[in-house]
Amino acid sequence: MKDHFRGIASFYDRLIGIPHVDRQLELLELPCGCPLLEVGGGTGRVLELLKGEAHPLVIADYSAAMLKEARTKEGIHCVRTTAEQLPFPDGSFERIVVVDALHHFPDQEGAVAEMARVLRPGGRLVIEEPDIRRFIVKAVALGERLLRMESTFHTPERIRGMAEKAGLIARVEEDGGFSAWVVADKPPETGV
């Protein structure tokens, strides 16, 4: 698997800018004082803004260079791994977030299933992705293809389907802008 972010990791935060986390706070129902995992979290630019909203904060990312930048941010635990093989026990996290990263995962369906596995019963997964139905996102997708980034963008409905196939109860949230969100809840355990 290629590390497409190795060359831009040291200036990625400045290049991309400060993320707006209001929507993540709302959809993740934070604060919760619970363990939060960001899959594909790169430099930690999102989790850095969620400090105090959940604990512990953990990033799982494949890029060693991006994780090197994340390690400079206090209070964030970093794990180098693929999204398809998370090194955590079942039910480790009450909240999981993926921000603008799912399209980079080689096996997106496998990654969503793996996130569902490490999500606690009653927990929530929120996936924010560029909405491929928008012209500007189609242009971004073309640019990434030309850069040989091997990205695959899916509609929010397709991502919702991946979550449902993994046993989650999912819905799509949209605001008509660049991104859409899939909010997926793991059913609570029921006593038999």
161-182 confidence digits (pLDDT tens): 999 999 999 999 998 888 899 9
Q: Is the pLDDT of residue 39 over 70?
A: yes
Residue 135, pLDDT score: 80
Give the three-class secondary structure for 133. coil
Is residue 152 within 8 Å of 163, Cβ to Cβ?
no
Map out the domains of the chain with their CATH numbers.
9-185 (3.40.50.150)
Q: Is the pLDDT of residue 8 over 90?
A: no
Greatest pairwise CA separation for the chain in angstroms: 53
Is residue 14 within 8 Å of 45, Cβ to Cβ?
no
- Strand 169-174: give its sheet, edge to edge: 76-80, 57-61, 36-39, 93-99, 119-130, 179-185, 169-174
Confidence of residue 149 (pLDDT cuts 50, 70, 90): low
Confidence of residue 33 (pLDDT cuts 50, 70, 90): confident
